[in-house]
Amino acid sequence: MPDTKKFIENLSGAGKCIGVLTSGGDAQGMNAAVRAVVRMGIYVGAKVYFIHEGYQGMVDGGDNIKEASWESVSSMLQVGGTVIGSARCKDFRTHEGRLHAALNLVQRGITNLCVIGGDGSLTGANLFREEWSGLLDELVQSGEISEEASQIHSALHIVGMVGSIDNDFCGTDMTIGTDSALHRIIEVVDAIMTTAQSHQRTFVLEVMGRHCGYLALVSALACGADWVLIPEMPPKDGWEEQMCYKLSENRADKKRLNIIIVAEGAIDQSNKPITTELIKDLVVRCLGFDTRVTILGHVQRGGTPSAFDRILASRMGVEAVLALLEASPGTPACVVSLCGNQAVRVPLMECVQMTQEVQKAMDEKRFEEAVRLRGRSFENNLNTYKLLSHRKIDSELPHSSFNVAVLNVGAPAAGMNAAVRSAVRVGITEGHTMFAVSDGFEGFYKGQIKEIKWGDVGGWTGQGGSLLGTKRTLPAKHIDKIAEQMRIHNINALLVIGGFEAFESLLQLVDARSRYEEFCVPMCMLPATISNNVSGTDLSIGADTSLNAIVETCDRIKQSASGTKRRVFIIETMGGYCGYLATVGGLAAGADAAYIYEEPFDIRELQSNVEHLTEKMKTSIQRGLVLRNENCSENYTTDFIYQLYNEEGKGVFDCRKNVLGHMQQGGAPSPFDRNFGTKIAAKAMQWISKKLKEFYREDEGRVFANTEDSACLLGMRRRALVFQPVVQLKDETDFVHRIPKEQWWLRLRPLMKILAKYKTSYDVSDSGQLEHIVRLRAKDISAI
């Protein structure tokens, strides 16, 4: 990485024309990407053109290619599908069609294309780029363009963004639309579960994914399905008996329903399709269970984009414009993709080749190879599913005499229950006896500790809040009683799931090790807090659910102003002193400003925001949205800001305020939080097992762990899941305000400002590194 910092102010798009199109199947979040490309393009001084109806519009030209304005992308952030239209285009596959397209682009001076679509659309774009100079030569020869025009437009630059609900594209962890499709699936599964429960039914659900089982696999993980069938992992011969045995075993275990999830492309070992009807007939024939089939179909493509997809698409749209500005004639066409929590650029054709290799491996029945090629995210989801889904009989379990306790600490966060379920089941699979502690450390010192078994956590993934019960009580006050309970129940390891209080608790327990040997055991903490304010991790369980609640409410509030012109809403979010929810929620909801503690502001800034909104009201966009973190300022309260805006905006706009409150903490966990909680809890339990073996003293017959690395926090750092000793995280933490000293999401704030038309400084030093897929895999194999 060069030392010299690179800022957006030094990148100019003056004289450049960018065309943006959506192609292939639609996906939620495409509009957010289009909006980001248009606004970022205009911000840097370029002209941006909508190319309506995908490649068909490029071939047909005319009114299909129109210049975009700042206002033309207003209100499209929350709309599903694609506003500029998409079409499958046969003409573009012909040489003649591409010649027409090249002429239409040259006539408007467009030599930069931003293509949002699947692998077919991106392959077409790359072919177009390779043929570009030949097409221009033909146009010069036929006299349709001049030699001079051919020289000026000699190079075509292409940047792709992958919009596909299937997440079937190699080179990115998530494609635009996948998270929203999972939201639709989980909404349906949650609804079906209540009716299935009533009648003791078995439901067979078909989800999209003709060649890729990602949606089926992740939704199975997120709802705790009994069985899943995906194209990348055909079941072994004799699977029918196995599946029926598992279903009947679950019923015997007092479970009143069964859920089987099938990808539409599911196949058996001899490449024969496995259909929902085939499964239904099988269950009815073998078990006689009342069985129903539900095919989700295009519901999965519809609805509003989730908070994750809006943020992903906005980040990628901005990154795509940066990539186009920095492109030179020799730069290969690239795709802006997501790796862990980072936006990276990867060569387009490497991604396409890898995606095609997956299909080839599946056609040739090299299924393990296909899973490996899908990438780390897919592989880890599959491994976690395998870990959790098949209950071993006692004789198969490795025998360990270790007792592991699980507890929730701090405020409830959606996804805690998914993490507890995963930890309990993986712990049992590893041979441990699992104990559940009710009501955090308060329950611990009172002895509310009991063994928890496999069946006790059934159906927990979709439940919000904390089923174990959670309290903010820290252990220091009752340390001797807690030590006594550790001794009574012979607890050999601790898994603490919670927010900042959980972090402080672990530090207090580590500190007490010198006085109480009972705490000399492996301890692991999983960050679970809606505020996302714990050091050592970029993301926490519960924050995604909370963001979706904020974004959904902001959408409704904005819509309420559609009849009344010129209205500004001031919305207060939770988060303590941490501005994560206000900032990222602001980016996802299209806010004009977000006030947070981490970025001090004064009356002058408030004044300039009011002036900015006054200017905005003169355009066709006649509403504003301002978010305020609850603790951003002692004196500039929500009431103060509301009154100031009201007074200063008199005659121009009126104001309303809204405190979102505990609505942000409730609700069923989002697919992301269920999945994240499930995966990190499984990883934490495997780490605990390893540490128990490592710190077991044969001669004394006990576990003794007193090193820094035996008390860790498992967090996501940029691209990987990392175990970090809590003692080492002390220096990274501001304990007074209960926030990390450095927070990655502050880098997203300039994006929000740019997309709201503020001139700002934006450090883009992180951008611009073209990475190769193969390197990506090798480096991140151990991540998530």
Nearest to 119 by CA among 156, 88, 87, 164: 164
Nearest to 563 by CA among 623, 651, 626, 615: 623
DSSP H helix total and E strand total for the chain: 25, 27
**Among the options 119, 166, 173, 439, which is catalytic?**
166
- SS3 (DSSP) at 421: helix
Strand partners, 162: 117
DSSP secondary structure string, 528-568?
Answer: B-TT---TT-S--BTHHHHHHHHHHHHHHHHHHTSSSSSEE
* CA pair distance 654, 643, nearest whole angstrom: 10
* CA pair distance 639, 530, nearest whole angstrom: 24
* CA pair distance 22, 55, nearest whole angstrom: 8
* CA pair distance 778, 117, nearest whole angstrom: 27
Helix (H) / strand (E) element for 407: namely: strand 403-409
Nearest to 441 by CA among 413, 465, 407, 412: 407
Would you state the structure tokens that stand for residue 133, as one six-digit string?
A: 């100079």
* Residue 485, CA distances (Å) to 436, 447, 611 in order: 13, 6, 61
DSSP secondary structure string, 574-598?
Answer: --TT--HHHHHHHHHHT-SEEE-TT
Cβ neighbours of 254 (radius 10 Å) = 8
* CA pair distance 470, 407, nearest whole angstrom: 8
Show Cβ contacts of residue 85 under 8 Å, excluding neighbours closer than 6 positions. 22, 52, 53, 54, 57
Query: Residue 423: exposed, middle, or buried by beta-carbon count in 10 A (0-12, 13-18, 19+)?
Result: buried
Q: Is 166 noted as a catalytic residue in this protein?
A: yes
Query: How far is it between the farthest Cα atoms of the chain?
Result: 91
Positions marked catalytic: 166
